[in-house]
Structure 1
Amino acid sequence: MLPSDDPVRRSRGRPVEDSLLEAAWLYYVEEWNQSRIADRLAVSRATIVNYLQQAREQGYVELRVDLAVFNRQRLSVALRERFGLAAALVVPGQSASLSSVALAAARYCPDFVEPGDVLGVSWGETIYEMAERMLPRVIADLTVVQMVGSMPSPYIFTSEGCSTNVALKLSGRVMNLYAPAALSSPEAAAILRDEPLIRQHFTLLETMRKAIFAVGSMDAESHVVRSGIATLEDVEDYARNGAVGVLCGRFIDASGTHVEGALDDRMIGVTPDRLAGLAAGMLVASGPDRAPAMRGALAAGYVTHLVTDEPTAEAVLELAD
């Protein structure tokens, strides 16, 4: 235990990490204010703010979400009752915020996973940011499996990046899918699916116990359009056949059923029905434009744990009536 009341000692000449650890201890354990800690360490208050930020980012201090408390929130109760969820974490606030939802999922995710899990991870901006903002934690014997093939992307995030980052943060093994999400022809996709490495990957996906995934919208800004998997004309064609959104790169209708179309025979990745019957499935999503896809995933029973925000939760519940 670090001393708390000895004379002021200057931090000059001490390793920075020592000062960082002392600042974190005094602030989070002994509940000193930042100004008092700055005086104690003979540094500026801005330096203390930086120390505390580093302590969180490096995993020396972990802030955890008490899901039992958030489950009592009005919208959480409504979502859990309507869709039979085990948990619904609804981020407070009047504006939809992907960043806030990703941060909430990052704080909750390590408690969602258990030792020995085989965890499937999809792709998307929310999933990528969640992984980036997770605090390190060791989950014993964890295997993280990429559920959707790789794709050229105008974004910083990639499918393999999402699964790799989750595995790194939780000290798990990562099994990435070494294949494109969509090939040029059904024949090329069939040949690739028959490759031993790809067949081995899908065999592993059959052992998946839990999954973390997002959903996409049906407009020109949809990730499947901007990544080049589908054209806007493709999306419109799927919409005419009842699709309301995208899940794991596939189109689903309002009941969560996979809507098959021209693209499916060219794709490499799980189909939505693989998410049925898992021990747990976490949907992380923000934005009323994703509400129809979210509602479909919820109605199909793919979701046991939901992380979203107030405006998006309201939009989902309005569709559920």
Structure 2
Amino acid sequence: MAAPAPSLAKPRGVVDATRLPVRDDTPFIEAAWLYYHDGLNQNDIAARMRISRASVVNYLNEARARGWVRVHLDSDVFRGHRLAAELCTTYGLTEALVVPDNPEDPDGAGRVTRAAADWLPRLLEPGDRLGVSWGATVYQMAQQVPQHLVPDLTVIQLLGSRPAALGFAAEACTAMLAQKLGGQCINLHVPLILSNKELRDALCEEPVVKAQLEALATCNKTVLACGTCDADAHVVRSGILSPDDIAAYREKGAEGVICARLIDGAGQPVVAEVEERMIGVSLDQMKGKDMALLVAAGPGRARSARAALLGGFVTHLATSTSVAEDLMDLAA
């Protein structure tokens, strides 16, 4: 008796890949090509593709949402701004980028972080070691950096982690930039603040942590924001300092915050008690970089930005027209 023919039925629970629906991306690609490459308007595209204009709009929005299309203005446009030149002359910057304010964005961060995100890859070279600060501004910028491979790049977290429901932890900023730029990521796997100095000192001597701290000291380039010292400051919202603490340090002259460390209006340290229990880059280690990009956006940012500029923490500045004008007023 002949052996039964083998069954062609798929075992239960096994998906037949040949029967999976194939996503047809052709309309999105075609609409994007006609609009961005061929220069057709939306009505012309609708007529050519025999669809409604509303469908064309949807296709174009979807193409951008999927990251297939990225539209940006050359950063040279903003670096040639009159205010950019004045900032460089007044504050000794290598370069400055000034974008127009957006009246529909009261916080003023959206355009600045987008412009800084487009600019950052052009400031990097193969073999660079990029140190990354934290905060909402840095995180927002990191989200918008285009995919751009920088050979042999190392991206390093500059300060320890701090549990907070703010959505922009230091490790997230670093990891995101490393992924976007194709770099090796070195996270600092320790809390930002320990309960006492002895524990902090002991943890810093652990071989893994010691190696990570040695790595952050080798950064030749940095990207940072300088926080404010008001009651709603990042260091307050993340629980590093209390509202009373920040008010007391403000009375002592504190005007800015770099990597959780306070500086006065001239960029000099205002040492907080918590610093002896803190693990992260020192203010001295933040100076003397080949490139240090400060992203300064939003109302009330001029004084803290000026403190960072005067302290020697910045070589490149990305900001808005209003902050740039305030910076020039403060220098008058």
When the two structures are superposed, what TM-score results if normalisation uses the length of structure 1?
Answer: 0.89
Name the counterpart of 2:80. Answer: 72
SS across alignment from 1:207: coil
SS across alignment from 2:254: coil
Contact 1:125 1:157 in 2 (8 A): yes
2:99 aligned to which of 63, 66, 91: 91
Select between 164-173 and 244-253 the one with higher mean Cα deviation.
164-173
Identity between Structure 1 and Structure 2 (%): 43
SS across alignment from 2:191: coil
Q: Label 1:301 to 1:44 Cα distance change in 2 as closer, same or farther (>3 A).
A: farther
Q: How well do the aligned residues superpose, as a CA RMSD in angstroms? A: 2.0
1:185-264 correspondence to structure 2 within 5 Å: 185-264=196-275
Name the counterpart of 2:142. Answer: 131
**Per-residue deviation at 1:268?**
1.0
Q: Label 1:300 to 1:57 Cα distance change in 2 as closer, same or farther (>3 A).
A: farther
Q: Label 1:148 to 1:23 Cα distance change in 2 as closer, same or farther (>3 A).
A: same
1:311 aligned to which of 299, 309, 322: 322
SS across alignment from 2:130: strand
Contact 1:59 1:135 in 2 (8 A): no
Select between 88-97 and 153-162 the one with higher mean Cα deviation.
88-97
Contact 1:285 1:308 in 2 (8 A): yes
**Per-residue deviation at 1:250?**
0.5
Contact 1:182 1:267 in 2 (8 A): yes
Q: Return the alpha-carbon distance in structure 2 between the equivalents of residues 45 and 14 of structure 1.
A: 25
Contact 1:149 1:181 in 2 (8 A): yes
Per-residue displacement from partner, 1:8-51 (whole Å, max 9, x unpaired)? Answer: xxxxx995333322222222221111222233333343443343
SS across alignment from 1:244: strand
**Per-residue deviation at 1:297?**
0.9
Q: Which has the larger radius of gyration?
A: 2
Name the counterpart of 2:28. Answer: 20
Contact 1:245 1:290 in 2 (8 A): no
Select between 244-253 and 150-159 the one with higher mean Cα deviation.
150-159
Contact 1:218 1:246 in 2 (8 A): yes
Structure 2: any 5+ residue segments left out of the alignment? 1-20
**Per-residue deviation at 1:60?**
3.5
Select between 38-47 and 308-317 the one with higher mean Cα deviation.
38-47
Contact 2:102 2:111 in 1 (8 A): no
1:36 aligned to which of 41, 44, 48: 44
Name the counterpart of 2:185. Answer: 174
Structure 1: any 5+ residue segments left out of the alignment? 1-12
Q: Label 1:222 to 1:15 Cα distance change in 2 as closer, same or farther (>3 A).
A: same
Select between 53-62 and 235-244 the one with higher mean Cα deviation.
53-62
Name the counterpart of 1:295. Answer: 306
Contact 2:263 2:270 in 1 (8 A): yes
Count of aligned positions: 309
